Amino acid sequence: MGQAERQQTEKSRAETLATKAQPAALKTLLPPGALLRRPQVLELGGGVRLRKGRVHEVSGASADLFAMRAAAAHGQPVLWLGLYRDIVTLNPAGLQAWLEVEDLILVEAVSRGELLWAADQALRASGGVCTILDLPDTLSLKESRRLQLAAEQGGGIGLVLLRGPASTSAAQTRWDCQPCCSTPPSWDWVCLKGKNGEAGRWRMRCEEGQEGGRGKAQNAKNTLHLAAAASA
């Protein structure tokens, strides 16, 4: 074999090795399962945005309304989890102004531990459902981290309604929602915590005949009933 032929052979081997090394380099830079896309965002109107695949904490007198608005914007089946005493008062006549009642699944738990387990399973499920966890107290940092990982796996959105004081957690955002005495009905939504700079204050209004964004006025003029009359 002449010198020219040997050089050509060595060049071909080098090109072959370089080609084989490229996939390995790509695997090093992009581990299996890496997603090259921006996180999906849920638009609630008025510039309020919630990231999907995340858990968001909500507290305040109108936390239920915030959850309903987010569930309606999500446009997927809704799982509302809570203890019997907390979910038995939900009034379908009020909920139907915001979302399709047949898409709402109520999950009744008998203990706090069972409630957290059910929320973890719901958030991990594929399909990107909206999971509303009506919690009687607050979340610990360990509990919130577990729910956050579950939401990232399932790709849906988790809304935790806190009935107790807020504590350090792994939630993407934390909201305080309070009703305002005004006409038309309005609410103050304050983002107290945002991992991506979402903090701010919004005044949300509900115009006549536009409850829930579905163009329906199921109840009396400019009113919204989320609790049954028997519980008032």
pLDDT tens per residue across span 66-116? 998 888 888 888 999 999 988 888 877 778 877 787 888 899 999 999 999
Stronger pLDDT, 102 or 124, i.e. the higher one:
124
96: in domain = yes
- Which pLDDT belongs to residue 230? 33
Residue 8 confidence (pLDDT) = 64
pTM of this prediction exceeds 0.75: no
| Digit-coded pLDDT (tens) for 144-188 | 999 999 999 999 999 999 987 778 888 999 999 998 887 778 889
What is the rounded CA–CA span in Å between residue 151 and residue 144? 10
**CATH number, position 124:** 3.40.50.300
Determine the Cα–Cα distance for residues 55 and 122; give it in Å rounded to an integer: 12
Helix H segments across 47-197? 63-74, 84-87, 92-95, 112-124, 141-154
29-43, 85-99, 186-200: which has the highest mean pLDDT? 186-200
Q: Which two tokens stand for residue 93?
A: 């006549």
Residue 129, pLDDT > 70, answer yes
The pair of structure tokens assigned to 144 is: 């919130």
Q: Looking at the domain assignment, is residue 127 inside a domain?
A: yes
Q: Is pLDDT of 206 > 50?
A: yes
Mind giving me the DSSP string for 3-30? HHHHHHHHHHHHHHHHHHHHHHHHHHHS
Q: Please state, in angstroms and rounded to a whole number, the distance separating the CA atoms of residues 229 and 1.
A: 97
Q: Does 224 have pLDDT greater than 50?
A: no
**50 pLDDT above the threshold of 50:** yes
88 located within any domain: yes
**71, 178 in Cβ contact below 8 A?**
no
Domain for residue 148, yes or no?
A: yes
Domain of 216 in residue numbering reads as 41-231
* Within a domain: 100: yes
Percent of the chain with pLDDT over 70: 72
Please tell me the distance from the alpha carbon of residue 133 to that of residue 55, in angstroms, as a whole number: 10
Please give the full DSSP string across 178-217, using - where no structure is assigned. EEE--SS-EEEEEEEEETTS--EEEEEE--TT-BTTTTB-
What's the domain count of the chain?
1
